[in-house]
Homo-oligomer: A and B are copies of this chain.
Amino acid sequence: MKVFVAEKCGLCAGVKNAMRLAEEVLQKEGEVFSLGPIIHNNDVVNRLSAMGLHTVDGIEDIPRGTVLIRSHGAAPAQIEKLKGKGLKIIDATCVLVKRVQKIATELEAEGYTVVVMGNKEHPEVRAVVGCVNHATVVADESDLEKLPVDGSLGVICQTTQSPEYFARMLSAVCRRGFSRLKAINTLCKEAVKRQQSAVELCKKVDIMFVLGGLDSANTRKLAELCQQHNSQTYHLQNWNEFDKSKLAGKKTAGVTAGASTPEWIISEFVEKLGVSEPDVDLC
């Protein structure tokens, strides 16, 4: 099987920073707490867990020591609670997510109704919403009815969405009507480059593999975009999920990976895929 790897893929600076900070604390203190998975990648979380990382669901589950704010960020109220408990805080919020949080508070201060385009369950979006008194999350066109038709709307977007999604949602807002609209492009440029790179590659190959956590927003977006351009797209967490029968009749394969997928998962996958041949019995 001839394998091509997307020019831009794998760990982004924000995730690398969070992993590095976690490892530093673990080396010094032997344990660290994370509110929710530090990144949306089970392999990485399992590796760090073995080193002493405790992933907890709520602040009440943190009894002592140091807590790491993951790259998706946390709401100011959560940070205040952590401080109130006397915990040491290591902030690994991605700088781009910090920027979105700052923009959201500025938009509200300027009198805009804050509108966040994205998935309201995603921790990044939840943290951004937590930075303002009120925000409306718009996931798709059906959510638009939550918005006033003559309002002052301050629109931002979850960093890992695609430019096409942001443009489509903004267009729908424009068609509904507004009095004032201020929209800031808060998309992560690195994520956008990875999307472009993945789309380019998936058009050229017989089968496309998108590697990364099933909860990872940016990986899912990569898979969604690739699926649009190549119906033979598979979102896998790692080589263990690989199904050889999918290679039947294929000669070329593409590989890309989300921003929370470490290098070792990509290399293992690419190496093993390179020496795989479709089982002729299955053809």
Contact = CB atoms under 8 A, between A and B. Distances in A.
A63 to B, nearest CB: 44
Contacts of A174: 166-167, 170-171, 174, 183
Interface residues of A, number: 17
A177 B181 contact: no
A193 interface: no
A197 to B, nearest CB: 17
A163 interface: yes
A180 B175 contact: no
B182 A181 contact: yes
A178 B182 CA distance: 12
A270 B171 CA distance: 40
Given A170-B171, A171-B170, A171-B171, A163 B177 contact: yes
B184 A180 contact: yes
Interface string A164-206: 0011001100110111111111000000000000000000000
Contacts of A180: 182-185
B175 A185 contact: no
A111 to B, nearest CB: 13
A167 B171 CA distance: 7
Contacts of A150: 185
23 contacts: A163-B177, A166-B174, A167-B171, A167-B174, A167-B175, A167-B177, A170-B171, A170-B174, A170-B181, A171-B171, A171-B175, A174-B174, A174-B183, A177-B185, A179-B184, A179-B185, A180-B183, A180-B185, A181-B181, A181-B182, A181-B183, A181-B185, A183-B183
A-B residue pairs, 9 tightest by C-beta: A171-B171, A167-B174, A170-B174, A181-B183, A167-B175, A182-B182, A179-B185, A180-B184, A171-B174
Given A171-B175, A178-B183, 9 more contacts: A167-B171, A170-B170, A170-B171, A170-B174, A171-B171, A181-B182, A181-B183, A181-B184, A182-B182
